[in-house]
Structure 1
Amino acid sequence: MNSFVLTFGIAALLFSTGLVSYLATARRYQSSDSVANSYDEWTEDGILEFYWGEHIHLGHYGTPPQRKDFLQAKADFVHEMARWGGLDKLPAGTSVLDVGCGIGGSSRILAQNYGFNVTGVTISPQQVKRAQELTPGGLSAKFMVDDAMSLSFPDGSFDVVWSIETGPHIPDKESFAKELLRVVKPGGLLVVADWNQRDVRQKPLNAWEKPVMRQLLDQWSHPEFSSIEGFSETLEATGFVEGKVITDDWTQATLPSWLDSIWQGIVRPRGLVKFGVYGFIKSLREVPTLLLMRLAFGTGLCRFGMFRAVRTNQ
């Protein structure tokens, strides 16, 4: 009985500490530096990589969703996105810019499995360093620090521009859209996957959705979410899109990722040994946001949007 009380007490203390940490340490977007610093910290301590692997994005569980290994679902997402975007039909040697490349998981798949020449850019110097460490010699994937709102490449530099879950960290969606398309070669492809909110022009946020959205923005350095409809309009407004932007909604295919990411902390207990109490508290701190994400995507407040556009020849 005493052992049970002690265990319960420790669990309650840890949960309370994590909850207080969550409420007291919101990571609101302040500038691009606040995003870079957040990812630098997560990359340096290795906690995110331990639980999420080399792909810091959601997984694809099929349509309809099926039970799948969390890390395998992430790799599958890259292949599904490549097929959806038409990259699987492109020849080896195709030049690809991976905007918001993280620690290079997608870039390495595109280089190794498709034979592309990939350049990955991220605003986090530590992510670049880790991506370089994880990339085998001879693989045609290189990494550099760059700002998605002001890319350092000349116009028309790449056959394909690719981006996964970067947009929510970008305050100026117009500059983001213009830069993504500016560096695509005429006739080339832009393929983007992103978290989006519902189009509030059609259905404004209600009383419970407003505080939930505020937490989703404040906790992970997100200045603003676009809607699928809104960002496709923003892309078309650049004048760089041939015809219309093609969109799709992958909410259901990616939805299991949120609870699976929490489950990793339970089925991989050696993380507690590896990272200690600090790592446990830091990981526990993210659980409320993950649950809110599951709520938002499960109820239609948020949607997982896919975007495909062809660059005009002008």
Structure 2
Amino acid sequence: MSLFLTSFIFLVLILFFLYLVLWRINTRKYISSGTVASAYDSWTQDKLLERLWGEHIHLGFYPPNKNIDFREAKVQFVHELVSWSGLDKLPRGSRVLDVGCGIGGSSRILANYYGFNVTGITISPAQVQRAKELTPHECSCNFKVMDALNLKFEDGAFDGVWSVEAGAHMNNKNKFADQMLRTLRPGGYLALADWNSRDLKKYPPTTLEKIILKQLLEQWVHPQFISIKDFSNILINNKNSSGQVIFDNWNYYTNPSWFDSIYEGIRRPNAILSLGPRALVKSVREIPTILLMDWAFKKGLMEFGVYKCRG
């Protein structure tokens, strides 16, 4: 092996080691709901996530045998979940709660396309501010800073409850489900999607999988993941649920989102470069977690759970 090649490999290994060290130092461990709020405030204020992912901070839905753009897939996801959950059976003017609304992308579709009167809540003040900035005055959406584990609404206040990829940030899954179902009127529709682990009691993780799960928890402020079956049981056994809960795993439809989220930076380099050098560093910093997510979902360690039930 030539001296040049040996030196090059050594340099790459050193840089990779330093990168891993820095990556570990800058973890975003879940400590409390405050750490979730701080993380999303930061992601919103630096505008990097919005520049790359658009108005929807969730995965997309990729129909089989159809080429679809990363951002189009996110819009497609909203329509697919509305249809699958039965939320589209609600008449125009129905009151819908969006739990974990982000910067309001899904809320605006629910309001503009389906005619719902939408209230979006998030624990991040920066997200609420940005959601209001992006929402036209005539759009029937309003946004509030609120903890999903302590909803300040009366029992049965909503005809529909919608939540996408918020539950993974909740340290009490029972209370998360209870608050949503409490505010859902009898006969109303719950539409929910979330990141779940496989059943780790039935299929214990290997040492490698334990390491990967730890990284996925610590990098994006997640207290814990639970299985699709475990969360469906929480919904079934809740006193405000009809007990008729249907669930599915949408890994097949959503998995392309992970690599597409990286490609988006290549397709739209100015979205990053226009924000300055720090934005480039921040975007590169997220790539290992995205790749781990992609691996975990493809291998079945993680599952994309969707749930529907009636109040």
TM normalised by structure 1 equals: 0.92
One-letter identity of the residue aligned with 1:181: L
1:59 aligns with 2:60: yes
1:246 aligned residue: 246
Higher mean C-alpha displacement, 65-74 vs 21-30:
65-74
2:58 counterpart of 1:68: no
Listed as ranges, the gaps of 5+ residues in structure 2 are: 1-7
SS state of the match for residue 107, structure 2?
helix
| Superposition pairs of residues 112-191 of structure 1, within 5 angstroms | 112-191=112-191
Counterpart residue number, 1:227: 227
Give the residue type in structure 2 aligned to 1:242: S
* Counterpart residue type for residue 33 of structure 1: G
The amino acid that maps onto 1:29 is Y
**How many equivalent residue pairs?**
303
Cα 1:14–1:41 shift into 2, 3 Å: farther
1:108 offset after TM fit, Å?
A: 0.0
**Alpha-carbon contact 1:22-1:286 (below 8 Å) kept:** no
The structural deviation recorded for 1:275 is 1.6
Of 264-273 and 44-53, more deviation after overlay is shown by 264-273
Q: Using the alignment, how far apart are the partners of 2:203 and 2:228 within structure 1? A: 14
> Is contact 1:40–1:124 with CA below 8 Å preserved after alignment?
yes
Task: Give the structure-2-normalised TM-score.
Answer: 0.93
Is the deviation greater in 44-53 or in 80-89? 80-89
How far apart in 2 are the matches of 1:78 and 1:51? 18
Aligned to 2:30: 29
* Matches of 1:111 and 1:290, distance apart in 2: 31
- Cα distance in 1 for partners of 2:95, 2:18 equals 47
**Partner deviation per Cα, 1:146-183 (whole Å, 9 max, x = no partner):** 10111000111000010000011000011101001000
219-228 or 11-20: bigger deviation: 11-20
Kindly report the root-mean-square deviation, in angstroms, between the aligned alpha carbons of the 2 structures: 1.9
- Cα displacement string for residues 121-144 of structure 1 (whole angstroms, at most 9, x for unaligned residues): 000000000000000111100000
> Residue deviations 1:27-59, cap 9 Å, x none?
000000000000001101100000000000000
Aligned residue for 1:48?
A: 49
C-alpha deviation, 1:192, in angstroms: 0.4
Counterpart AA for 1:99:
V
Deviations 1:82-118 (A, max 9, x none): 0001122221001100000000000000000000000
Match of 1:4 in 2: none
Q: Does 1:109 align with 2:118?
A: no
Secondary structure at the residue paired with 1:93? coil
The code of the aligned residue for 1:218 comes to E
The Cα of 1:66 is off from its aligned counterpart by 3.7
CA distance in 1, matches of 2:202, 2:65: 28
SS of the residue 2:306 aligns to: strand
Gap change, CA 1:70 and 1:15, over 3 Å in 2 = farther
Counterpart amino acid of residue 140 in structure 1: S
- Which range moves more in the overlay, 242-251 or 26-35? 242-251
Q: Is the Cα contact below 8 Å between 2:259 and 2:291 reproduced in 1?
A: yes
Letter matched to residue 204 of structure 1: P
Please report how far the alpha carbon of residue 273 of structure 1 lies from its aligned counterpart in structure 2 after TM superposition: 2.5
8 Å contact kept, 1:168–1:222? yes
CA distance in 1 between partners of 2:244 and 2:93 (Å): 27
- Ranges in structure 1 where 5+ consecutive residues have no aligned partner: 1-7
Is 2:284 aligned against 1:267? no
- Aligned equivalents of 1:66, 1:201: Cα separation in 2: 37
Q: Distance in 2 between matches of 1:16 and 1:52?
A: 29
Q: Partner residue of 2:40? A: 39
Give the % identical residues: 53
Aligned to 1:114, the other structure's residue is in SS state coil
Structure 2 distance, partners of 1:91, 1:17, is 56
Cα deviation, residue 15, structure 1? 7.1
Compared with structure 1, are the counterparts of its residues 283 and 21 closer, same or farther at alpha carbon in structure 2 (3 Å cutoff)? farther
Give me the whole-angstrom Cα distance separating, in 2, the residues matched to 1:283 and 1:15. 16
Give the structure 2 partner of residue 5 of structure 1: none
Structure 1 pair 38–65 and aligned structure 2 pair: CA distance change class (3 A)? farther
* C-alpha deviation, 1:247, in angstroms: 0.3
Q: 1:65 to 1:294 in 2, by over 3 A?
A: farther
Contact 2:85 2:191 in 1 (8 A): yes
Out of 231-240 and 145-154, give the one that drifted further.
231-240
Alignment partners' CA distance in 2, 1:185 and 1:65: 39
Instruction: Give me the whole-angstrom Cα distance separating, in 1, the residues matched to 2:20 and 2:125.
Output: 30
Q: State the distance in 1 between where 2:16 and 2:188 align.
A: 50
Counterparts of 1:101 and 1:30 in 2: how far apart (Å)? 21
Between stretches 27-36 and 263-272, larger displacement belongs to 263-272
